[in-house]
Structure 1
Amino acid sequence: MKPGKYNMLFFFVLLLVVTVQPVAAQRGRPGGRPAIQRPPAGGGGLNRQPMHGGAVENNDMHNRNVNRNANINNGPRNSNNTNVSGNTVNINVDRSHDVNVVNNRNTMVQRNNIATYGRPPYVYGGARYYCYHPYVYHPYRPFYWGPAWHPWGFFVAALAVTAIVVTVENEKYHYDQGVWYAQSGGGYTVVAAPVGGTVTTIPSNSQTVVVNNVTNNYYGGAFYQKDGTTYKVVPPPAGAVVDNLPEGGEEVKIGNQTYVKIGETYYQPVKVDGKDKYEVTQVESDK
């Protein structure tokens, strides 16, 4: 063989060796995937790029999941505290205007001589309940005297210019159109009419109630007696029959009878001239 042919054969064998060796190395790994380039010692792998299917990619995915879970767990938790445009709203009830008022000034009763009662009292639990009219039960339905009237406990931020100041036993009240107010935090709260409170006018739709030849005017749960040119708040007179009772009362079961109790005053349901009414009850101890 000529020298030129040897040279060509040698070149062909060398080219075959160079080409086959990397392929053999690639086939030597499972799946034929290239070997992973290990990072140099000393932590130089912090800036490496993830390789598809390799350990670096898996670690990177784990970090992303950890960060995502941390964001979810540490995010704002306001599902139960929706204050704007939500279905759940936190309501803060302002009780700063609550006021403690001695309402028993008009829960005492002007007593009658029991001899004037032509019928025996109802006796139960060590007490005698005197009324002129027989007991006829009907449900307690609070009455509404109109837009200018408010029940006990009603709060207003400001009073009308028609309100006046009335001092009773060194305590200051405000009176307007049959309603009595006591100043409380940031406004005024409706209270029971204080016994002894004197005003020059009362609502024109007050009810006239005559007891023992004494004329009383009844409005919004309060009794007034005229004294010259003024009207003075008095305790409820026993035997007085009124058409309606205000809010703030409660039905109280006493034996077989049910009374409406407002403060410490008991009202017995009665029927007069075919109409449901209430009579101020005189309660005496049976001891």
Structure 2
Amino acid sequence: MKTIKNNLSNTALICLMGSLFLISIDSAAQRHAGERRAVRERPATQTRPGSNGSGIKKPNNKITRPSAGTNSRIGGNNATNNQNRTVNRNTNISGSTVNRNRNNVNINVNNSVHVHNNRNTYVRPNPRPYVRPPYRYNGYRYNCYHPYYPRPYHPYYWGPVWHPWGFFVATLAVTAIVVSVENTQYHYDQGVWYKPSSGGYTAVPAPVGATINNIPSGAETVNTGTVNNYYYGGTYYEKDGSSYKVVPPTAGTVVDNLPEGGEEVTIGDVKYVKFGETYYQPVQVDGKDKYEVVLVEKDK
């Protein structure tokens, strides 16, 4: 009997110890599970990276200036914007400079043509009286010896060596000579007058007062009413000793052809061809189409 009691006591003790052991294991398991859940639920602590690279690196949101070779999106955009701003600024400045230079070129060309046009194309009055009444319009009188004969303006071509005003050439022929007029140098070659321009030479109206030894063989003789002039390519020459001097046109002079560069100007019922300040009226003489130099005067 005593042996049975001892066995029961030992069995009960073993069961108790087993229960306690199981409870302890279960408690430990629950504690570890709770810690794992806590770890999962608690946000990770962000720490600055140590020297050994431990910790969770904090994202760097600071935008820095792009360096050479930067391929990042932000840096690339900044670089593009900076580049665009620089390019646009330079382009605008360059564009303005080009525009100014271009304007200067145009102004120089126009001034050269118009200034010398005014010197070369003003009209000398004719001593012969006009028997025909002038055409009056808008406060001006337009005097001609021949009646108006309307027809379209067709410029005349004097050949391959002749060039109209404004024509540019890079080089001149060896036959070109230098002529100085009022401290300005011109180049003359076979009936065409040139002035140096950027990178070459530009054909200009012949300067009044310029003197040359020979005129083109194709020059026609025209009578001004008092003296003969020699006309070629829109330029009038007058014999001056052994040479020929450029002179302005004389009112009433009749020529067969006009060069390129003229402007058709309609004044009232009459259409003239204008070169600078010189007006030419289409006329007919002996059944042939010609042009007469018009004397324009302010009406009194």
Structure showing greater Rg = 2
The aligned residue for residue 193 of structure 2 is: 180
**Cα 1:66/1:166, change in 2 over 3 Å:** closer
The aligned residue for residue 251 of structure 2 is: 238
The aligned residue for residue 217 of structure 1 is: 230
User: Is the contact between residue 221 and residue 228 of structure 2 (CA under 8 Å) also seen in structure 1?
Assistant: yes
Hey, what's the Cα distance between the residues in 2 that align with 1:256 and 1:14? 126
**Cα 1:65/1:274, change in 2 over 3 Å:** same
Say whether residues 1:161 and 2:174 are aligned partners.
Answer: yes
CA deviation digits over 1:30-66, x for unaligned, max 9? Answer: xx666312326xx969x77768xxxx45x65988765
Q: In structure 2, list runs of 5 or more residues that go unmatched.
A: 1-10, 65-71
Which deviates the most, 252-261 or 139-148? Answer: 139-148
User: Is the contact between residue 165 and residue 205 of structure 2 (CA under 8 Å) also seen in structure 1?
Assistant: yes
The aligned residue for residue 85 of structure 1 is: none
User: Is the contact between residue 47 and residue 55 of structure 2 (CA under 8 Å) also seen in structure 1?
Assistant: no
* Count of residues paired in the alignment: 270
Q: Using the TM superposition, give the Cα deviation of residue 166 of structure 1 relative to its aligned residue in structure 2, in angstroms.
A: 1.7
Hey, what's the Cα distance between the residues in 2 that align with 1:21 and 1:272? 129
Say whether residues 1:202 and 2:210 are aligned partners.
Answer: no
CA deviation digits over 1:133-190, x for unaligned, max 9? Answer: 2223334454444443333344445433221112334443221121112345665443
**Cα 1:220/1:9, change in 2 over 3 Å:** farther
Q: Secondary structure at the match of 2:79?
A: helix
Q: Secondary structure at the match of 1:76?
A: helix
Q: 2:270 aligns with which of 253, 257, 264?
A: 257
Amino acid at match of 1:203: P
Hey, what's the Cα distance between the residues in 2 that align with 1:178 and 1:225? 14
User: Is the contact between residue 26 and residue 34 of structure 1 (CA under 8 Å) also seen in structure 2?
Assistant: no
* Percent identity of paired positions between Structure 1 and Structure 2: 53
Q: Secondary structure at the match of 1:106?
A: helix
Higher helix proportion (structure 1 or 2)? 2
Q: Using the TM superposition, give the Cα deviation of residue 76 of structure 1 relative to its aligned residue in structure 2, in angstroms.
A: 3.3
TM-score, structure 2 normalization: 0.67
Residue correspondence of structure 1 range 1-287 to structure 2 within 5 A: 1=11, 16-27=26-37, 35-39=43-47, 56=58, 60=61, 66-77=74-85, 78=87, 93-94=101-102, 95=104, 98=108, 100-101=111-112, 102-103=115-116, 104-115=118-129, 117-184=130-197, 187-212=200-225, 214-227=227-240, 229-272=242-285, 276-287=289-300
Hey, what's the Cα distance between the residues in 1 that align with 2:180 and 2:63? 78
User: Is the contact between residue 50 and residue 60 of structure 1 (CA under 8 Å) also seen in structure 2?
Assistant: no
Q: In structure 1, list runs of 5 or more residues that go unmatched.
A: 83-87
Hey, what's the Cα distance between the residues in 2 that align with 1:214 and 1:157? 38
**Cα 1:286/1:61, change in 2 over 3 Å:** closer
**Cα 1:49/1:28, change in 2 over 3 Å:** closer
Q: Secondary structure at the match of 1:75?
A: helix
Q: Using the TM superposition, give the Cα deviation of residue 8 of structure 1 relative to its aligned residue in structure 2, in angstroms.
A: 6.8
